Structure 1
């Protein structure tokens, strides 16, 4: 009986210590999981602050990652599902927004620069944006730097940029 108890105790410790399963191609995102982030998207010269809050979590038994974000507690927000697309042999994602448009795209990871490049197609955008390219880097201090550009009305224009930092658990709000 003591041996059975010891085995159960050891098993419970090993199961607690093990990290949750994640698709191998999504392991690059593990540092983001179960964390909350905040970034300032305020454009230079603008008075009104634009604070973006997000959280990242493992989804679908580790076959996907879900991100949820909200700017200014619900002025705008969205949810993404990131997954490994076996057919394309790429990290792919869908992003759905409170503004009624959605995007779908792919990401590639550069191990040397520890950066992620993303290209997405935009569907149903009222401002004429049809494509977005973004560049993200998680630096040594744990901050995430993100910049983007948009294909709007046939011309590439500067998009948003922000430096995100981890914050204590925060609520991502929608209206």
Structure 2
């Protein structure tokens, strides 16, 4: 009986600690899975953005939660078998959302998004995600405002498994 209990516990532990293997079409996102905390400039009083990337639905979906206090959102990223593309929807606590396409590149991936549900602000976003030589996540984004593209931002994140996604509302 005791041996049976030990085998049962070992079996349970082996399933719970086994890493999720992504489907082939989502494998390009594997290096991004984990918790990332924004690197702020020295002296900044801002609360850093935290992004938690995790596998869902047995490697068929990546779920991203992110937040920095008053602002946050969630993305579900998946492979679309009809369009043969990585698609996503990003929903925010500000009431707007984006629908987009992620295209893997040699250095990361390019992202194009169309914004919906917003009364003002940009109508589209183009961004580039990459992991730098020193292991940081870098996000560069540009915004389409009033029909014209404008330079947006560059954010850098470092891995921090202890960081927590927070948003107030």
Q: Which runs of 5+ in 2 are unaligned?
A: none
Change (3 A) 1:50 1:161: farther
Aligned match of 2:62? 65
Aligned match of 2:38? 39
Contact kept? 1:90, 1:108, Cα under 8 Å? yes
Separation of aligned partners in 2, 1:153 and 1:83? 30
State the 1:50 CA deviation.
4.8
| SS across alignment from 2:94 | coil
State the 1:84 CA deviation.
0.3
RMSD: 2.5
- Out of 75-84 and 58-67, give the one that drifted further: 58-67
| SS across alignment from 2:162 | coil
TM-score by length of 1: 0.80
Equivalent of 2:75, from 80, 89, 100? 80
Give 4+ residue runs of structure 1 displaced > 6 Å after superposition. none
Aligned pair count reads 161
Change (3 A) 1:63 1:126: same
Matches within 5 A, 1:2-151: 12=11, 18-33=18-33, 35-40=34-39, 48-71=45-68, 73=69, 75-110=70-105, 112=106, 114-151=107-144
Change (3 A) 1:30 1:174: same
Contact kept? 1:41, 1:52, Cα under 8 Å? no
Separation of aligned partners in 2, 1:86 and 1:170? 34
Change (3 A) 1:135 1:41: farther
Contact kept? 2:99, 2:115, Cα under 8 Å? yes
Match status 1:157 vs 2:150 = yes
TM-score by length of 2: 0.83
